[in-house]
Amino acid sequence: MSRPHSRASRLAGVGRRVAVVGGAVAAQLSQALLSFGLQAIVAHTLGAGGLGTYALIYSVIVTSSALTGGLVGDSLTVLDRSQPPIRAALQHWALSSTTAASVLTAAALVGFGVVDLVTGVIVAAASATFLLEGLLRRILMAELRFWSVVVVDGVSLVASLATLGVWAAAATLDLDAMLVALVVGQVAGTLAGLPLLSAEDRRWSWSRADLRAVWSYGSLRAVQQTIRPLLLTLVRVLVIVEAGREAFGRLEAARIYVAPGILVIQGLGTYLFASYARDRTSPLSRLVRRADRTAVAMAVAALAAGALASALAGPLGPVITGSSFSIDPVEALAWAAFAAATAANAPYASLAAVRARQAAVIRNAVLVAVATLAVAAGLLLTGAPVVLAPLVIAGGLVVQALVLRNRILPGSEQAAATPSGTAADDVAGRSEAGP
Confidence check: pLDDT of 107 > 90: yes
416 pLDDT more than 90: no
Residues 6+ apart with CB under 8 A from 336: 258, 261, 302, 303, 305, 306, 307, 309, 310
Q: Is 143 exposed, middle or buried (0-12, 13-18, 19+ CB in 10 A)?
A: middle
Tell me which residue of 65, 98, 405, 350 sits closest to 230, measured CA to CA: 65
* pLDDT on residue 264: 64
What pLDDT does residue 435 have? 25
204: confidence class by pLDDT, cuts 50, 70, 90: confident
pLDDT at 402: 92
What pLDDT is recorded for position 356? 61
**Which is nearest to 144 in space by CA: 301, 290, 43, 16?**
16
Question: Which residues, at least 6 apart from 345, have a Cβ–Cβ distance to it below 8 Å?
Answer: 295, 397, 398, 400, 401, 404
Q: For residue range 8-65, what is the model confidence (pLDDT) as tens digits?
A: 566 555 556 666 666 666 766 677 777 777 888 888 888 888 888 898 999 899 999 9
- Residue 262 confidence (pLDDT): 63
More confident residue, 427 or 47: 47
Q: Over the stretch 223-261, which tens digit does the pLDDT of each residue have? A: 888 888 899 899 998 898 888 888 888 888 888 888 766
Q: Do residues 221 and 75 lie in contact, with contact meaning Cβ atoms separated by under 8 Å?
A: yes
Under the banding of pLDDT at 50, 70 and 90, the label for residue 211 is very high
Residue 383 has pLDDT above 50, yes or no: yes
pLDDT of residue 417: 44
Give the pLDDT of residue 275. Answer: 64
Q: Is pLDDT at 84 greater than 80 in this prediction?
A: yes
pLDDT digits 0-9 by tens, 321-346: 777 778 889 999 999 899 889 888 88
**Phi, psi of 418, deg, nearest 5:** -120, 165
Taking CA 248 as the corner, what is the angle to CA 118 and CA 321, rounded to the nearest 5 degrees?
90
User: Which has the higher per-residue pLDDT, 420 or 332?
Assistant: 332
Residue 404: what pLDDT? Answer: 87
| Rounded percentage of the chain residues whose pLDDT exceeds 70 | 81
Across the chain, what does the average pLDDT equal?
Answer: 82
Q: How far apart are CA 13 and CA 9, in angstroms?
A: 6
Return the pLDDT at 346: 81
Number of alpha carbons in the 13 Å side-chain half-sphere of residue 340: 20
Q: 369-395 burial by CB neighbour count: b if 16+ within 10 A, else e?
A: beebbebbbebbeeeebbbebbbbbbb
Instruction: Report pLDDT for 253.
Output: 87
User: Could you tell me the maximum CA-CA distance found in the chain, to the nearest angstrom?
Assistant: 73
Cβ contacts of 176 within 8 Å, gap of 6 or more:
118, 119, 122
Q: What is the pLDDT of residues 129-161, one digit of tens each?
A: 999 999 999 888 877 778 888 899 989 999 999
The C-alpha atoms of residue 286 and residue 300 are separated, in whole angstroms, by 22
Q: What is the DSSP string of 360-394?
A: HHHHHHHHHHHHHHHHHHHHHHTT--TTHHHHHHH
pLDDT band of residue 422 (cuts 50, 70, 90) is: very low
413 versus 308: the higher-pLDDT residue is 308
Helix axes 146-170, 175-193, angle to 10 degrees: 140
Instruction: Output phi, psi for 385, to 5 deg.
Output: -60, 145
Q: What percent of the chain has pLDDT over 90?
A: 33
